[in-house]
């Protein structure tokens, strides 16, 4: 997989992927033929169906606009995620010194539910290795994306009627900053008190191992 800055040749493809991804209400992955029923439901027969999307035709500003993505390219905010020569998805990112705001990520519906979303988030965090804090937001109604960002290690910091706001602090940065504040704090004690920065499923991991569990 390749994560890189987008090129002008990528813009049209990324716009189309974004449009399809954000307009997906229900994506069907089937082994055989399928038949789509009335709006808001799907008839699959004997095939295996999975609901993965959000509200239909309700994407963020500019999600289906070539001109908007062309502007993001000119401002160095547009990135491409590719599998060899095939573009899988993209991201719009805003860096401010040691902080990064993830404006949006999107994966082609053809690659939904295959782990590419998590892989893309990891690539973003690896690419911006000097960033200490990552922030993003997602609609309240979209249960899928809220579960996804929790799975990626983001913690909810606030919400309003429309959006849930998330934050992720790079683990080694958190540990280093706290040690700098108090060099006399034992490592085991310090690690024990960092559980707030880890995913809930890590709660049973011994502190001595947690501090080494860096997924970035």
For the stretch 164-178, pLDDT in tens is 999 999 976 655 555
Check if the beta carbon of residue 81 is closer than 8 Å to that of residue 3: yes
pTM of the model: 0.68
Query: Is residue 135 classed exposed, middle or buried when 0-12, 13-18 and 19+ CB atoms within 10 A define those classes?
Result: middle
Sign of CA dihedral 83, 44, 22, 129: negative
pLDDT value at position 186?
A: 53
Question: Residue 199's pLDDT is what?
Answer: 40
State the Cα–Cα distance between residues 37 and 16, nearest whole angstrom: 24
What are the pLDDT digits (tens) for 99-121?
999 999 999 999 998 999 999 99
What's the pLDDT at 202?
A: 45
In whole angstroms, how far apart are CA 194 and each of 17, 61, 171, 207? 38, 37, 9, 8
The DSSP letter of residue 59 is: P
């Amino acid at each position: 997989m390749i994560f890189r800055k987008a090129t002008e040749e990528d813009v049209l493809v990324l716009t189309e992927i974004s449009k399809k991804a954000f307009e997906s209400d229900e994506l069907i992955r089937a082994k055989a033929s399928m038949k789509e029923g009335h709006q808001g439901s799907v008839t699959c027969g004997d095939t295996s169906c999975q609901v993965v999307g959000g509200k239909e035709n309700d994407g963020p500003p500019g999600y289906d606009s070539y001109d908007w993505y062309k502007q993001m390219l000119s401002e160095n905010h547009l990135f491409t995620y590719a599998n060899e020569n095939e573009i899988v998805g993209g991201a719009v990112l805003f860096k401010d010194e040691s902080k990064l705001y993830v404006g949006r990520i999107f994966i082609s519906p053809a690659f939904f539910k295959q782990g590419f979303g998590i892989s893309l988030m990891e690539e973003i965090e690896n690419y911006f290795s000097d960033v200490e804090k990552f922030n993003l937001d997602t609609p309240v109604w979209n249960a899928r994306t809220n579960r996804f960002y929790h799975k990626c290690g983001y913690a909810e910091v606030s919400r309003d009627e429309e959006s849930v706001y998330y934050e992720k602090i790079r683990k080694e940065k958190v540990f280093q900053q706290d040690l700098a504040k108090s060099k006399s704090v034992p490592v085991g004690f310090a690690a024990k008190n960092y559980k707030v920065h880890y995913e809930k499923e890590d709660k049973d991991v011994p502190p001595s191992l947690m501090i080494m569990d860096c997924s970035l």
